């Protein structure tokens, strides 16, 4: 076993394809297949499973790829430290964010990345928490931020912050005033405009309602945040959202946000990293960087309605 074999194997695992890895490495596919077969023979275990769309690593293959990547990165860092030429972070990081998080975090992270890591290219795509998890499992993104509730044995979830949910109403609604608390039963018995049942926020609200023996009155199901808020502003119903999602409309006097009391409704935002493929120095360092930036935003009041 040598470094060349390990580099080749990591490419196969990351691309889930011997053909694609051979093209990227600019070697013949049969030669790359022989490298994998030699590793399997040496270790006495199967490292890959073949299927119609390519290959996927076995548990042993995942462990080998993860350890091999760490070893190769250690060798590169050691050479840099000894020579005094430690390479700065560089490359591309693809980050998946839910829409409500993307609205506040995307611009901040792009600006901070440009300032702190000019050689790193940050790509951001937005989707619901279930989509973010699926993208992570399929290798479409390197890191994901989502709301707790998406469980997978192939994903590690690290809590970042807790987000309190508020009752959001039109500024013209009767009996409502911005910042005035409302009991959870009164909030959940109002006509509500919520996302569809597949959305994590809807599931969280329904779980609380079930615990409180409340039958929700969902008058509209809308997954598009600006459309949802437009109908709330027109007084067709209320909704339940984190404060950051409506902070501009509240400041402009178009909507009001009321804390829910006697049982708070909150949700935990987590950083998700894949366990089914090897990590990298770039993604692990960027994950730490982003987590510290989110914590700083909360501490400075830039992410209202949240706690660490």
pLDDT tens per residue across span 155-194: 888 999 998 999 999 998 876 788 889 999 999 999 999 9
Q: Give 3-83's CATH code, choosing from 1.20.140.10, 1.10.10.10, 1.10.3720.10, 1.10.10.60.
A: 1.10.10.10
Span(s) in the chain for CATH 1.10.10.10 = 3-83
Which residue(s) pair with 307 in the sheet?
162
Where residue 203 falls among pLDDT bands split at 50, 70, 90? confident
Contact (CB, 8 A) for 64 and 9: yes
pLDDT digits (tens, 9 = 90+) for 32-89: 899 989 988 889 999 998 887 888 888 888 888 888 887 877 777 666 656 555 567 7
Alpha-carbon distance values, 186 to 5, 31, 262 (Å): 64, 68, 10
d(CA 124, CA 121): 10
Q: What's the pLDDT at 82?
A: 64
Q: What's the pLDDT at 252?
A: 92
Among 286, 298, 300, smallest CA distance to 141 is for 286
Q: What values do phi and psi take at 203, rounded to 5?
A: -60, -40
d(CA 109, CA 307): 19
Q: Give 91-158+269-307's CATH code, choosing from 3.40.50.620, 2.60.40.1180, 3.40.50.2300, 3.40.190.10.
A: 3.40.190.10
Q: What's the pLDDT at 80?
A: 61
Question: How large a percentage of the chain has pLDDT more than 70?
Answer: 95
Span(s) in the chain for CATH 3.40.190.10 = 91-158+269-307
Span(s) in the chain for CATH 3.40.190.290 = 162-267
Provide the CATH number for the domain formed by 162-267 in this structure. 3.40.190.290
């Amino acid at each position: 076993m040598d470094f060349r074999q390990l580099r080749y194997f990591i490419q196969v695992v990351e691309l889930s394809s011997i053909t694609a890895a051979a093209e990227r490495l600019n070697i013949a596919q049969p030669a790359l297949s022989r490298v994998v077969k030699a590793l399997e023979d040496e270790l006495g275990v199967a490292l890959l499973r073949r299927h119609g769309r390519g290959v996927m690593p076995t548990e042993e293959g995942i462990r080998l790829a993860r350890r091999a990547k760490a070893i190769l990165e250690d060798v590169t860092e050691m050479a840099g430290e000894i020579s005094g030429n430690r390479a700065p972070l560089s490359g591309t990081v693809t980050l998946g964010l839910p829409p409500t998080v993307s609205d506040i975090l995307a611009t901040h992270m792009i600006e901070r990345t440009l300032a702190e890591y000019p050689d790193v290219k940050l790509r951001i795509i937005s989707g619901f928490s279930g989509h973010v998890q699926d993208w992570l499992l399929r290798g479409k993104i390197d890191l994901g931020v989502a709301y707790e509730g998406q469980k997978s044995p192939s994903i590690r979830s690290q809590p970042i912050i807790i987000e309190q949910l508020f009752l959001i109403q039109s500024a013209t609604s009767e009996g409502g005033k911005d910042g005035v608390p409302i009991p959870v039963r009164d909030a959940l018995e109002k006509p509500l405009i919520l996302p569809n049942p597949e959305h994590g926020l809807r599931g969280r609200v329904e779980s609380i309602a079930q615990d409180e023996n409340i039958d929700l009155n969902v008058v509209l199901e809308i997954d598009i945040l600006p459309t949802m808020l437009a109908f709330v502003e027109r007084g067709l119903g209320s909704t339940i959202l984190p404060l950051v999602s409506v902070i501009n409309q509240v400041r402009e006097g178009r909507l009001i946000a009321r804390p829910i009391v006697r049982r708070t409704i909150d949700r935990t935002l987590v950083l998700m990293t894949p366990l089914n493929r090897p990590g990298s120095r770039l993604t692990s360092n960027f994950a730490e960087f982003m987590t510290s930036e989110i914590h700083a935003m909360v501490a400075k009041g830039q992410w209202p309605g949240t706690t660490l």
